Amino acid sequence: MPLKALIFDVDGTLAETEEVHRQAFNETFAAHGLDWHWSQEDYRELLRTTGGKERMAKHRASVGRGPSDAEIADLHKAKTARYVEIIASGAVPLLPGVQDLIARAHAAGLRVAIATTTTRANVDALIHATFGKPTTAVFEVVAAGDEVAQKKPAPDVYLRALDLLGLPPEACIAFEDSRAGLASAKAAGLRVVLTPSAYTTGDDFAAADWLRADLTQASLQDIPDLP
């Protein structure tokens, strides 16, 4: 079946945002008097759990103390607001090849979508800061983690993106940076281009259809049907 759409993860795929997430978490913890501080090593391990609230609950379980579920939800809202502020400042650029590949896709008449675990507010902040446009001016479809029952590695968010596009998985290619994202996309029946991020380099990505250092390679070399 001819390629009709590209579906992108966000964090670690479009931009190297995970360090900003970690910064926003730590600043939020400090601002609310919570004696948690996540090092890069801590956060690399926590990223194996998808979703910010879920990561806080995981950390609470590991240390045996911490905020209630309701307090975690409030902390997550504050963290999201801080993340949006940092991203809006223009501190994080798109990763190599991303803007070029999306421009080539648009020029070739391919549809472009997002399937992410992060919230829509985070997506909108990043796209506006990097593309200078509203999200809907760049991506036809956005499927976010707060819109589905189960987050990655479950296939829900990719299945939602496919449903919104009205396309079968055979007509799409997914772009991911993590094992959870890879598992999610493959469970939805998608072919996957995997570009490791700073926090996922060295992980096992044997299930990916294409493993590339960045999307500059993906837009220029031997991936069938890409513009």
Catalytic residues, by residue number, are: 9, 11
Eight-state DSSP code of residue 93: P
Q: Tell me how far apart the alpha carbons of residues 52 and 22 are, in angstroms, rounded to a whole number.
A: 10
Phi/psi at 121 (nearest 5 deg)? Answer: -60, -40
Is the separation of the CB atoms in 118 and 79 below 8 Å? Answer: no
Query: How many angstroms separate the Cα of 178 from the Cα of each of 48, 173, 181?
Result: 9, 15, 5
**Amino acid present at 224:** P
Ordered alpha helix ranges (H), the chain: 18-31, 40-46, 52-63, 69-88, 98-107, 120-131, 135-138, 156-165, 179-187, 215-220
Phi/psi for 11 (5° steps) reads -65, 120
Q: For residue 214, give Cα distances in angstroms to 116, 186, 196, 217.
A: 18, 20, 8, 6
